Amino acid sequence: MFDFNFQEIQPILKVENLNKLFGFNKGCQNINFELFPGEVLAIVGESGSGKSTLLNSLSGHEQPDSGDVIYHAKNEQDYSLYKINESERRLLMRTELGFVHQNPRDGLRLRISAGGNIGERLMAVGERHYGDIRSKGENWLEQVEINSDRIDEQPRFFSGGMQQRLQIARTLVTHPRLVFMDEPTGGLDVSVQARLLDLIRQLVQKHQLAVVLVTHDLSVARLLAHRIIVMKQSEIVETGLTDQVLDDPQHPYSQLLVSSILN
Amino acid sequence: MNNATQLTPALEVKNITKTFTLHQQQGVAYTVLDDFSFSLNRGECLVLNGPSGQGKSTALKILYANYLPDSGEVWFHFNNHSVELYSSNTHQVVYLRENHIGYVSQFLRVIPRVSALDIVAEPLISQGFDESASRDNAAELLTRLNIPEKLWSLSPYTFSGGEQQRINIARGFIKPVPFLFLDEPTASLDEKNKQVVLELINEFKQNGTAVVGIFHDADIRQDLADKIIDL
């Protein structure tokens, strides 16, 4: 216990001078940070501060105006997400990256079965054996606390919380190393939120995921994230360890955010 | 342990200054710590002493990177390496906390749906220890701290203040660490449980842990302190 055996590792994501603006201070600009394997980073800030634009640019969905997003892949190669060609990027997004939308309708097909939703991602990465796909589907339903005998039901008949859990199963089944989440508990009842947050916390730990999470709810950040980025009007105004930023915020805007929480 | 490591202190705090600036309240600024320094050897306990509002908790929180100082250094010395808290990246600080520091805050932060036993076992499990062995250790500690077994599987949401604090203590003491920071761990405990906490702290000291603590009770301070700093 008196030895310090920290291994310096490569960041899984490097963001360099990223800019994506839709108008004056609308979007995100001058964004620089690194994310490490197994690290959970929360991006917080009010609506319109550029959180979602940033997330879309980081995850390969929104070409930035300038700057670089460099992903360090499983094969130890670096890929600049917007300099590689479209098909390479799509392949990375299917295999190593995952995205959980705020609204499960954006991440699911509501009229195909729950099992089909999970299986589709597996088939997209080349799995063909029906029995394997089905048993992985059942296993993942159980992991997100959905009874596996509901595998043939269509998610349009599921509650919002169940749909969100199914979307998480669909995202994680291909074992991504880096997952982006946009307000994953956004539209849910408070009681359902708590359950989902605890589930996400467990899955992130169990599968050692790196996560970039957008939320306007500081208690979500407190529970899930190692580190926080505070955004205001398209720029990062403060960043640091989650508990440090929430307990001892430095920037006037962070102080305003933290002092606005009702206890 | 070789001779060189015996001569090096375990923990060195150099010239810490901390000012709080309240931007939402007319930018009022007040300085809580000014040129705060100490050094501490393995197996020693430093007690931070003084009336409330003098910066005892602030000093402790700065050792854990929970509060950010304006200036100064916090050095953690190991056999093979030294780490300065405020020139390390957050990734390294998280590693330091998870693997080498025990921290008992004044209040337990309850996580929805997680049982008392799992809250206590988590620091071991997240370091990769076997889950059932970790739960056995947690159960042993909860028994020592007189938490009835029927409560172990429940979320501490509904526990009394003293019970929650003992869960918090058990979580802080579950893994052997070279550094242990305690913020009034005995504040809401009865005499019997205070003695258990005292025993636990002494066991850690004997194993070479450097302890920094704030203690409400004069007799506990007396019992544990190798050094006292009055703030």
Counting beta carbons within 10 angstroms of the beta carbon of residue A126, is it exposed (0 to 12), middle (13 to 18) or buried (19 or more)? exposed
Determine the distance in angstroms separating the CA of A241 from the nearest CA of chain B, rounded to an integer. Answer: 6
Using an 8 Å CB-CB cutoff, list residues of chain A that contact chain B: 1-4, 6, 36, 39, 194-195, 197-198, 201, 205, 223, 226-227, 240-241, 243-244, 247-248, 250-252, 255-256, 259
Set of chain B residues whose Cβ sits within 8 Å of the Cβ of A227? 90, 94
* DSSP 8-class letter at B31: E
Tell if the CB–CB gap between A243 and B91 is shorter than 8 Å: no
Which of helix, strand or coil describes residue B130?
coil
**DSSP state string for B63-85:** HTTSS--SEEEEEEE-SS-EEEG
What is the per-residue pLDDT for B216? 85
* Separation between Cα atoms, residue B110 and residue B207, nearest integer Å: 30
Mean of the per-residue pLDDT values of chain B: 93
Question: From the centroid of its chain, how far is CA A74?
Answer: 18
B121: domain CATH number is 3.40.50.300
Cα–Cα distances (Å) from A216 to A122, A227, A260, in that order, read 32, 15, 12
* Separation between Cα atoms, residue A123 and residue A117, nearest integer Å: 10
Cα–Cα distances (Å) from B67 to A41, A262, B9, B174, in that order, read 19, 21, 23, 24
CB A180 within 8 A of CB A58: yes
Tell if the CB–CB gap between A205 and B79 is shorter than 8 Å: no
* DSSP 8-class letter at A215: -
pTM of the model: 0.94
Domain containing B61 equals 2-230
* Separation between Cα atoms, residue A8 and residue A205, nearest integer Å: 20
Tell if the CB–CB gap between B81 and A195 is shorter than 8 Å: no
Contacts with A37 (C-beta within 8 Å, 6 or more apart), sequence order: A9, A12, A177, A208, A210
Amino acid letter, B155? S
Tell if the CB–CB gap between B67 and A194 is shorter than 8 Å: no
In the structure encoding, which two tokens stand for residue B192, read together? Answer: 């019997």
Tell if the CB–CB gap between B177 and A259 is shorter than 8 Å: no
Q: What's the total number of domains in chain B?
A: 1
* Interface A-B: count of C-beta contacts within 8 A: 76
What is the per-residue pLDDT for A262? 65
Pairing of the two strands B71-77 and A210-214: unpaired
B48 pairs with which residues across the strands?
B229
Q: What is the distance between the terminal CA atoms of chain A, rounded to a whole angstrom?
A: 38
Pairing of the two strands B210-214 and B45-49: parallel
Low pLDDT (below 70) residues in chain B: 1-7
Q: Give ∠ CA B130-B131-B132 in degrees, rounded to 5.
A: 100
Chain A residue with Cα closest to B86: A240
Helices (H) and strands (E) in chain B, counts: 8, 9
Low pLDDT (below 70) residues in chain A: 262-263
Tell if the CB–CB gap between B112 and A194 is shorter than 8 Å: yes
φ, ψ of residue B141 in degrees (nearest 5): -70, -40
A239 pairs with which residues across the strands?
A229
CB A36 within 8 A of CB A9: yes
What is the per-residue pLDDT for B50? 92
Amino acid letter, B185? P
Amino acid letter, B17? T
CB A153 within 8 A of CB A115: no
Determine the distance in angstroms separating the CA of B146 from the nearest CA of chain A, rounded to an integer. Answer: 28
What is the per-residue pLDDT for B4? 47
What is the per-residue pLDDT for B7? 67
What is the per-residue pLDDT for A192? 85
Tell if the CB–CB gap between B111 and A247 is shorter than 8 Å: no
Minimum-distance CB partner of A2 among B67, B78, B94? B78
**Residue of B28, B86, B91 best to disrupt the A interface, most CBs of A under 10 A:** B91
Minimum-distance CB partner of A243 among B22, B66, B92? B66
Tell if the CB–CB gap between A248 and B24 is shorter than 8 Å: no
Helix pair A160-172, A130-143: axis angle to 10 deg: 130
Cα–Cα distances (Å) from A171 to A40, B65, B126, B165, in that order, read 17, 34, 23, 38
